[in-house]
Amino acid sequence: MLKPADDSFAEILRNRLPEGAFRPLEPRYLEEPRGRFQGQGGLLVAPANTAEVALVVRVCRDASVGVVPYGGGTGLVAGQVMPEGPAPVILSLERMNAIREVLPEENVLIAEAGAILENIHTAAEAAGRLFPLTLASKGSARIGGNLATNAGGVNVLRYGNARDLCLGLEAVMPDGTIWRGLSRLRKDNTGFDLRNLLIGSEGALGVITAAALKLFPLPAARATALLAVPDPQAALSLLALAGDLLGPSVSAFELIGGQGLAFLAETGLRERPLFDAPTPWCVLIELDLTESDDPSAPLEKLFVAAMERGLVEDGLIARSEAQRNEFWDLREMLPEANRRIGSISSHDISVPLGAIPEFIHRAGRAVAGVGPLRVNCFGHMGDGNLHYNIFPPAGKSRQEFETDRPRLNRLVHDLTHELGGSISAEHGVGRLKLSDLQRYGDPVKLAAMRAIKNALDPTGIMNPGAVVPTENRG
Amino acid sequence: MLKPADDSFAEILRNRLPEGAFRPLEPRYLEEPRGRFQGQGGLLVAPANTAEVALVVRVCRDASVGVVPYGGGTGLVAGQVMPEGPAPVILSLERMNAIREVLPEENVLIAEAGAILENIHTAAEAAGRLFPLTLASKGSARIGGNLATNAGGVNVLRYGNARDLCLGLEAVMPDGTIWRGLSRLRKDNTGFDLRNLLIGSEGALGVITAAALKLFPLPAARATALLAVPDPQAALSLLALAGDLLGPSVSAFELIGGQGLAFLAETGLRERPLFDAPTPWCVLIELDLTESDDPSAPLEKLFVAAMERGLVEDGLIARSEAQRNEFWDLREMLPEANRRIGSISSHDISVPLGAIPEFIHRAGRAVAGVGPLRVNCFGHMGDGNLHYNIFPPAGKSRQEFETDRPRLNRLVHDLTHELGGSISAEHGVGRLKLSDLQRYGDPVKLAAMRAIKNALDPTGIMNPGAVVPTENRG
């Protein structure tokens, strides 16, 4: 049984850590962006270095006090907020935000877990390099959290997700020992893959304190287009064609539905229509090029080939950085439009690429069976990752459909599961999807997860209730 | 304590499996390519499907009989051969060699563990796709073994190692349950990363029975060059320059030492010198291109830029497929030349890219301190992975230097470790490097490995004595 981080426990920690490690527990540490989970308190500790993190974890382990690692607080599945149970230590990495080293010739950057993602971008660019992991919350998300949740974003198609961009980790294990695995190696086959076990474990197996990250050459140019496609099947064929014609230069392939464009108009986020005729679907495609002369040429080639095959109906190629930004704004305003309209339920799913058209078709039919609802389906099609959000009809509010949420959740996830998909493509499990994982997860994998959790964290102090249910342990 | 797979145990299995699952134990199942380990016997079982694999493992678990998974038998660290302990079941995947599915539009291929690597290449190519994992033993290596050892090879620089090329796994766990994780998803953040835990675990945590693999577009053209460089530092700068100028098209960057070229001449494998003047080092670089017009142009651009910077002294760009093959033959004959000369010790190490010049310099000095030995250093420089092999002086035999081997092993590995490198870059630990891993491995990682092994395989039946020492368990 875990114990609360009460006054006497705080006293123990205060005797062993500098005063600077203790900060006021502002409300933001108990909240999460979607407002569905609310922390009940805890002791906020912000260590200055890895040794202090190790000390905190050791003291917590000895006292059976839970530890909730806290990065930028931008996670969408409440991995960073513990709404029940004895008050934990909230272990914020905010003071460990140094970029320790940039090695452009090796294409490596070493950052502490609390480094803000956007600052890592800046440091890489200053050395003529690209760190390609990027997402909407880059200005506040911290790399430790990005790795703990194996963050995705818009560049996964070409560069991979957080997991693929990490060469080595330094981490504090649940017993307070420090794993010094900050390797810069591209190849290392010495034993079980502890790095990938910690990445994506959402703080349930340890606290990441620093990471060695992969850098890439900065693209000499970027080329960006919006292509109107008749349906998701055409978008899928366009993706394959782009791979054949343009190879690894395709860095983003985002699907945008006509409903999303309509939402932008409805919410006033964008007045002017993009294409002459309304389009049911469009694709935002971007290339990272190593040549800067005539960057539009490859997209023109793709456009012509796709027109010949009937895959696209119209298209716009960005002729300036301003136009490129306009295209991306369109994509990136979709979440804001969704927020303004107010979704009944939101889903971060992935299915095998070939199953995307079937998923969209069948999910649409099933949702229509519940009522005259609207669906904004968009996302990282190149990765098979769709954000599938369901809204009330025009003029109605989400509150009227509150009781439909569990049913909608169930039908979207049932279909995802039937098609061999994942109910959490890039956001993680956290606490929000804990019961969904128990329902849909492979039982052998779930058993292995429990065994590993018990083996590495027998006291169950690490992020209690996240990813692995507390009741099944011990 | 493990028990032998004796006659009465065999009887139990024979009663539960079809006759076809039992094959004669030919000597090859007890040997490994370097001839340093010799199996002492065992019961050879070759199941026809995953259910039979699960049955075998369950029966072994119940009887505390060891299981040694056996793929193509090409591993270089004796993961496939158990030289001591009670006779195990040797579980060969050779009958499970089907390619279950090829999905070119999704860039996915699903193969059983016993599929031979080269057959996977062929099946992918027939669908207009590339499966890029390739290594010298591709004609006999099986994909299950490639994954279990996280195989590398010459294309890691661009496409990653076996781990990076796998989307999902089906595997039998040490308790005989079947993990159905044959996902085709590019993104799936639902819980701990069991896939990567099994990949590279060398059979010590379960038996891989099938895998979903990533395919890529076939390159429209390839461009290949041999560039003479003055020293390893120049090779390193050339690698960075190639990245900047040519981006992700660089698919191979292999370092070849002058000693290797001399060995080719000495063994009669290649008479004609390549360059007008002997070169101390050269680099084989290859590009996978999406455009087929003028494939040499990017290499010419690189050559000119590198000449300007003093990084290359001479160069040959392949003008035909025959010339391309000639360059690759040169690289691929090096292991045969090494075998003919007879090495005293061989090492598969990696260091951070930036440390390669220092490693080569200091290792060379240290080896010279032992005696007038010759070093053939070559390998996958783009990944920081060098094969560092030490030979007797001309006219002497390796036998005269047998007693120096431990000292040489130690000095190469000590230096590797000091520079933050790995004593096993791509071959794995198996049984050959078990004590090296105990010496050089991070103690916190080793403790986590033991805990995970005990949690998932409490009886210790899975590949006993490989990767994790038996004496430290239980």
Looking at residue A324, its pLDDT comes to 95
Interface probe, candidates A192, A293, A386, chain B, greatest B C-beta count within 10 A = A192
What residues in A contact B351, CB-CB < 8 Å?
A: 185
Interface probe, candidates B187, B422, B431, B444, chain A, greatest A C-beta count within 10 A = B187
Looking at residue B36, its pLDDT comes to 87
Give the amino acid at A225.
A
Closest Cβ opposite residue A193 in set B173, B199, B453: B199
What residues in A contact B445, CB-CB < 8 Å?
A: 179, 181, 191, 194
Chain B contact for A135 (CB, 8 A cutoff): no
Chain A contact for B75 (CB, 8 A cutoff): no
pLDDT digits (tens, 9 = 90+) for B135-145: 989 999 999 99
Q: Helix (H) and strand (E) counts for chain B?
A: 15, 17
Structural tokens at position B330: 């040169």
What residues in B contact A110, CB-CB < 8 Å?
A: none
Looking at residue A472, its pLDDT comes to 41
B residues 272-331 near A, CB within 8 Å? 288-290
What residues in B contact A219, CB-CB < 8 Å?
A: 247
Residue of B nearest to A180 (CA): B442
Residue of A nearest to B420 (CA): A183
Chain B contact for A394 (CB, 8 A cutoff): no
Helix (H, G, I), strand (E, B) or coil at B387: strand
Contact B249 A245 (CB under 8 A): no
pLDDT > 60? residue B248: yes
Interface probe, candidates A187, A434, A456, chain B, greatest B C-beta count within 10 A = A187
| Cα dist from B114 to A170, A171, B143, B171, whole Å | 36, 36, 6, 13
pLDDT > 80? residue B473: no
Cβ atoms < 10 Å from Cβ of A36: 13
Contact B449 A194 (CB under 8 A): yes
Quote the mean pLDDT of chain A: 95
Residue of A nearest to B151 (CA): A189
Closest Cβ opposite residue A105 in set B108, B190, B236: B236
- What's the gap in Å between the CA of A152 and the closest CA on chain B? 8
B residues 321-360 near A, CB within 8 Å? 350-354
Alpha-carbon torsion B181, B185, B188, B192, what sign? positive
Structural tokens at position B47: 């199941």
Cβ atoms < 10 Å from Cβ of B1: 8
Looking at residue B247, its pLDDT comes to 83
Interval B296-307 mean pLDDT: 96
pLDDT digits (tens, 9 = 90+) for B185-242: 999 999 999 999 999 999 999 999 999 999 998 999 999 999 999 999 999 999 999 9
What residues in B contact A179, CB-CB < 8 Å?
A: 442, 444-445, 448
A residues 210-269 near B, CB within 8 Å? 216-217, 219, 236-237, 240, 243-249
Residue of A nearest to B468 (CA): A191
What residues in B contact A428, CB-CB < 8 Å?
A: 189
**Nearest to A405, CA basis, from A433, A350, A367, A364:** A367
pLDDT band with cut points at 50, 70 and 90 for residue B278 = confident
Contact B422 A188 (CB under 8 A): yes
Looking at residue A248, its pLDDT comes to 84
Q: Beta partners for B116?
A: B142
What interhelical angle do B297-308 and B232-246 show, nearest 10?
130
Looking at residue A471, its pLDDT comes to 59
Looking at residue B133, its pLDDT comes to 97
Write down all domains in chain B, each with its CATH number in brackets. 7-94 (3.30.43.10), 99-217 (3.30.465.10), 221-335 (3.30.70.2190), 342-418 (3.30.70.2740)
Chain A contact for B428 (CB, 8 A cutoff): yes
Cβ atoms < 10 Å from Cβ of A102: 21
Chain B contact for A106 (CB, 8 A cutoff): yes
pLDDT > 80? residue B472: no
Chain B contact for A173 (CB, 8 A cutoff): yes
Contact A189 B424 (CB under 8 A): yes
What residues in B contact A290, CB-CB < 8 Å?
A: 245-249
Contact A185 B352 (CB under 8 A): yes
CA distance A252 to A289: 12
Chain A contact for B149 (CB, 8 A cutoff): yes
CA distance B263 to A28: 66
| Cα dist from A130 to A32, A169, A215, A387, B244, whole Å | 29, 20, 6, 26, 11
- What's the gap in Å between the CA of B330 and the closest CA on chain A? 24
pLDDT digits (tens, 9 = 90+) for A409-448: 999 999 999 999 999 999 999 999 999 999 999 999 999 9
Contact B196 A201 (CB under 8 A): no
Structural tokens at position B365: 């000095």
A residues 31-50 near B, CB within 8 Å? none
CA distance A369 to A367: 5
pLDDT digits (tens, 9 = 90+) for B77-121: 999 999 999 999 999 999 999 999 999 989 999 999 999 999 999
Give the amino acid at A363.
A
Interface probe, candidates A189, A301, A424, chain B, greatest B C-beta count within 10 A = A189
Query: What percentage of chain A carries pLDDT values higher than 70?
Result: 99
pLDDT digits (tens, 9 = 90+) for B15-69: 999 999 999 999 999 999 988 899 999 999 999 999 999 999 999 999 999 999 9
Contact B448 A105 (CB under 8 A): no
Chain A contact for B191 (CB, 8 A cutoff): yes
- State the count of interchain CB pairs (< 8 A) between A and B: 287
Chain A contact for B368 (CB, 8 A cutoff): no
Looking at residue B271, its pLDDT comes to 79
A303: left (phi over 0), alpha (psi -120 to 50) or beta: alpha
Residue A214 near residue A129, CB atoms below 8 Å: no
Residue ranges, chain A, pLDDT below 70: 471-474
What residues in A contact B424, CB-CB < 8 Å?
A: 188-190
CA distance B6 to B24: 15
